Homo-oligomer: A and B are copies of this chain.
Amino acid sequence: MSEYIEHDKNGISVGLVEKKFFTFAEPPDELILEGGARLGPVTIAYETYGTLNADKSNVVLILHALSGDSHVAGYYSKDDRKPGWWDIMVGPGKGIDTNKYFVVCPNILGSCLGSTGPSSINPETNKPYALDFPMVTIGDMVTAQKALMDYLGIRKLLSIIGGSIGGMQVLEWCVRYPEMVVSAIPLATTTKHSALAIAFNEVARQAIMADPNWNNGDYYFGRKPNLGLAVARMIGHITYLSDESMRLKFGRHLQDKSDFSFNFDADFQVENYLRYQGTKFVERFDANSFLYISKGADYFDLESQHGSGSAVKAFSKARAKFLVVSFTSDWLYPTYQSKAMIQATKKNGLDVSFCEIEAEWGHDAFLLPNERLTLLVRGFLERVFEETRTEQHAF
């Protein structure tokens, strides 16, 4: 990271940052995936901000959601207009204070934003994997992240933070590598995808696969399934908002017109918003990555995979201190799912804090500026950081 510090609307930025790459699992030592397939070599893109302290006790691992990437904060160049996706939370003096903590964010396995995924070149064919890419689970994403931590020489994580699918990875880390995780902040997430969440993902996948340009996943040298992917993204965007937030943001306001068109133009602002989000998304995201990551999320079931169907049993492996946060208007991962998580962690005698934040913005709330969330995260990190120093923490 450069020393270049920039002031912007989010306050002080971490400044110029750089995307880095770590490659491992070279054949014949491929990564063995939960589905049984072998994958290698595997590249994980990642970024780091702040400075690793001498005893390597200040590491905060941030794990992103479906379409996120390693670029959490800062800028890639002085001309770069858009900071990383959580710049409001991560930076000097911010909720996750880069003056104190060494922040790492890897791009997830299966993505198309630097890490190995279905759009990567299959070394056996010298063409993109497409559907020859093996299914990757949340557990496989975590396995790759662990390899990155090993490479960076990090053996203890002061905290792991992530929302949505990122939150699933946080939970997986806690039960998979309990000895490494001092604390965890799962945001707006769940221990297992509900039928409703699976349903939305499935319809989004069907929209992609219905696009003839999808061509059974083999489209990297031709026209892309942009229309299908745009519809998939629109479905996602509805689930990220809420009835209330859409009423407040759009209501029944018309888009640049005073009366109905009486045709199939985008009359309403909400229609225009969705079309715009769909169109914008296809410029930066790969349809096959959407399929793989969404299916991986649907498979996620911490209780069944780590507790024979019992959340209490699954969390019996965890040792971390938890800060669980849900949002009132999140109907994709509603508060009752976080409460079930709380119950299971408490039954294991774990140190757990829970906060349901009053927020109208639905599932998206965890990504939006929220003073309450910032204070919670900052306070929790300060506490656990302090405790690792004073308590001669067991890990």
Task: Report yes or no: B207 in contact with A250, Cβ–Cβ below 8 A.
Answer: no
Measured CA separation A237–B334 after assembly (Å): 20
Q: Of B209, B235, B262, B331, which one neighbours A203 at CB under 8 angstroms?
A: B235
Other-chain contact of A230, B131, B206, B230, B264 (Cβ < 8 Å)? B206
Q: Assess whether A234 is interfacial by the CB under 8 Å rule.
A: yes
Of B196, B266, B268, B295, the contact of A243 (CB 8 Å cutoff): B196
Given known A268-B298, A331-B243, contact A274–B135 (CB-CB < 8 A):
no
A 342-374 to B, binary, CB cutoff 8 A, 1 in contact else 0 = 000000000000000000000000000000000
The SS class assigned to the A binding surface is helix
Complex Cα–Cα for A129 and B77 (A): 55
CA distance A334 to B243 in the complex (A): 10
Nearest CB of chain B from residue A387's CB, rounded to whole Å:
37
Given contacts A252-B301, A262-B35, contact A274 B202 (CB under 8 A): yes
* A198-B331 contact, Cβ under 8 Å, with A210-B228, A234-B203: no
Q: Tell me, yes or no, whether A24 is within 8 Å of chain B by CB.
A: no
Q: How far is the CA of A268 from the CA of B278 in the complex (A)?
A: 27
Q: How far is the CA of A270 from the CA of B198 in the complex (A)?
A: 7
In the complex, which residues of chain B have a beta carbon less than 8 angstroms from the beta carbon of A238?
A: 196, 199-200, 203
CB < 8 Å: which of B134, B192, B196 contacts A246?
B196
Which residue from B227, B270, B299 sits with its C-beta under 8 Å from A195? B270
Q: Which residues from B are CB-within-8-Å of A249?
A: 195
Asked if A184 lies at the interface with its beta carbon under 8 angstroms from chain B, I say no
What's the least CB distance linking A289 to chain B, in Å? 13
Kindly list chain B residues whose C-beta atoms are within 8 Å of the C-beta of A395. Answer: none
Extra contacts, 15 of them, besides A36-B262, A195-B250 (Cβ < 8 A), are A134-B262, A135-B262, A193-B252, A195-B246, A196-B238, A196-B247, A198-B271, A199-B234, A202-B271, A203-B234, A203-B235, A205-B264, A243-B331, A252-B304, A331-B331
Q: Could you list 26 A-B pairs, sorted by A, with CB under 8 Å?
A: A35-B260, A194-B243, A194-B246, A194-B247, A195-B243, A195-B251, A195-B268, A196-B241, A196-B246, A198-B271, A199-B238, A199-B241, A202-B266, A202-B268, A205-B264, A206-B230, A206-B231, A206-B234, A206-B275, A207-B231, A209-B264, A210-B210, A210-B228, A252-B304, A264-B291, A267-B299
Q: Nearest 7 CB-CB pairs, A to B?
A: A35-B262, A210-B227, A195-B246, A135-B262, A195-B250, A202-B271, A195-B270
